[in-house]
Amino acid sequence: MYAGGLCFVTGQETDTLSFEEMTLRALQAGVKWVQYRDKERSRREIYEESLRLMGIAKKFDATLIVNDHPDIALAADADGVHLGQDDLPVKEARKIMGKNRIIGISTHTVEQARDADRDGADYIGFGPVFHTTTKDAGRPKGIEMLREIKRQVRIPVVAIGGITTENIRPVLEAGADAVAVASAMLRGDIEENTKRFLEIIKLNGH
């Protein structure tokens, strides 16, 4: 799942590319893990989009994670679901998803991270590490809290929030198992941005 250490998160930062097009370009550039995040559409539309994205992901042997909706993720035969703190608890999502699909959850404190580990999440998203304009995620948590999270949990930690090619190195050095990126991949040339991220991640031993 963590091949390459880079998760591409779909976003509305560009008006010119559809979710399918941006996902395709990221996959062509080497991404193996896509998180479909969509806060605008209806559940029916999210389901239909999930089906289309799953079709693309399969062609690249990539992992597709659907945000927020365990039932939609399962219905679309996605690889897993990514939950927020206000979504279904991990234990309840597991009843829907079964033991073989991936469940991740966003965490913002050490306590939330420990709870996710205890409750059977497969990974946690932690952040925002830096300031981000992608969504209202609260004040940045910083590198030191990331290090503390890594000391406290056994499951993989995916850092998110304001991560760019300029500031990714200390995130990786703090122990992040992977990084999740939206804006910094979508602004400009997706393929070139993706390749640069993957190059830096590889050089840092991931």
- Assign residue 172 the CATH number of its domain: 3.20.20.70
pLDDT of residue 205: 73
pLDDT of residue 132: 77
pLDDT of residue 206: 61
* pLDDT tens per residue, range 123-167: 999 999 998 776 565 788 999 999 999 999 999 999 999 999 999
pLDDT of residue 139: 85
Domain that residue 101 falls in: 3-203
pLDDT of residue 155: 97
CA contacts within 13 A on the Cβ side of 147: 6
Q: Which residues are paired to 104 by β-bridges?
A: 82, 123
pLDDT of residue 107: 97
Residue 5: left (phi > 0), alpha (psi -120 to 50), or beta?
left
pLDDT of residue 12: 72
Count of C-beta atoms within a 10 Å radius of residue 204: 14
Q: Which residues are paired to 103 by β-bridges?
A: 81
Write out residues in the chain with pLDDT < 50, as ranges.
Answer: none
Q: How many domains does the chain have?
A: 1
